[in-house]
């Protein structure tokens, strides 16, 4: 009996977006100062702040689903794009656009070179699999070059301290590309790679396994813009609403 596949690319994107939003909400919106402080004119801690702070670890757990889905969709996008160069330029552009909101959100600095946003991880992974496609002819020379390319991509992501880095992010993209025609195997190998980061993240591959190969309704630029915009909005809420209220 054939396994049913019922999730489109668009549906997977929405799941990843929702998981990422929960994760970043928990990491950026902090009520920690309020737990040791009282509400105005009372001696009691803020119950809403306590409740939200208690549920945030669950948000972070769910957030682990986002990255592997985005990596899978990156590979699918590369396999089906009609213009690889445009795809590459678009990722590079949004990596640059997203860096300031990312740094403001996670290090409270305008520019912080100690870590880079996830678009840089996806960009490096894309460059590596573009190279692997060009080296598809099987020979000793191309095998050595392919391994060198993969190693360079992993090193570059680790050196730049991109989100999820090389040993998780770039390696995951490479595995999803190399084993693209083996649905179960790529999901198992992807899950093993994700175990470096989380015990919950591999669950994303249950969703990926049921991908039906269809793009679904496309909101292409919405998904690109969502990343920097939601980081900026969450940071603004934290800095201009929550912090002034409790201080």
Residue extents of the structural domains in the chain: 9-246
**Sign of the dihedral defined by the CA atoms of residues 10, 15, 21, 27, in that order:** negative
pLDDT at 98: 97
- Report how many helices (DSSP H) and strands (DSSP E) the chain contains, helices first: 12, 0
pLDDT at 58: 94
- In this predicted structure, the answer to whether residue 34 has a pLDDT above a threshold of 60 is no
> How many CA atoms lie within 13 Å of 140's alpha carbon, on the beta-carbon side?
0
Give the residue-averaged pLDDT of 141-162: 96
- In this predicted structure, the answer to whether residue 40 has a pLDDT above a threshold of 60 is no
Q: What residues are paired with 211 via a beta bridge? A: 7
pLDDT at 221: 87
pLDDT at 3: 61
pLDDT at 241: 86
Query: Which one, of 131, 180, 136, 137, lies nearest residue 152 by Cα?
Result: 131
pLDDT band at 37 (very low <50, low <70, confident <90, very high): very low
pTM across the whole model: 0.90
pLDDT at 5: 77
pLDDT at 226: 97
């Amino acid at each position: 009996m054939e396994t049913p596949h019922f999730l489109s690319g668009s549906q997977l994107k929405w799941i990843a977006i929702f998981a990422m939003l929960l994760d970043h909400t928990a990491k950026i919106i902090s009520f920690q100062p309020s737990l040791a402080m009282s509400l105005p004119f009372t001696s009691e801690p803020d119950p809403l702040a306590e409740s939200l702070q208690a549920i945030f670890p669950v948000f972070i757990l769910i957030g682990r689903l986002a990255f592997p889905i985005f990596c899978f969709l990156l590979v699918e996008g590369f396999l089906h794009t009609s213009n690889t160069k445009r795809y590459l330029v678009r990722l590079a552009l949004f990596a640059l656009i997203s860096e300031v909101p990312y740094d403001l959100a996670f290090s409270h600095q305008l520019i912080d070179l100690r870590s880079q946003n996830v678009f840089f991880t996806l960009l490096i992974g894309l460059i590596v699999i573009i190279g692997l496609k060009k080296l598809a002819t099987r020979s000793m020379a191309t095998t050595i070059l392919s391994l060198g390319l993969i190693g360079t991509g992993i090193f570059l992501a680790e050196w730049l301290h991109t989100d999820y880095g090389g040993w998780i992010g770039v390696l995951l993209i490479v595995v999803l590309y190399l084993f693209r025609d083996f649905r179960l195997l790529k999901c198992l190998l992807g899950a093993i790679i994700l175990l470096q980061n989380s015990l919950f993240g591999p669950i994303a591959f249950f969703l990926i396994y049921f991908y039906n190969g269809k793009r679904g309704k496309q909101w292409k630029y919405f998904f690109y813009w969502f990343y920097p915009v939601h980081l900026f909005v969450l940071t603004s809420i934290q800095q201009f609403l929550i912090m002034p209220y409790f201080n």
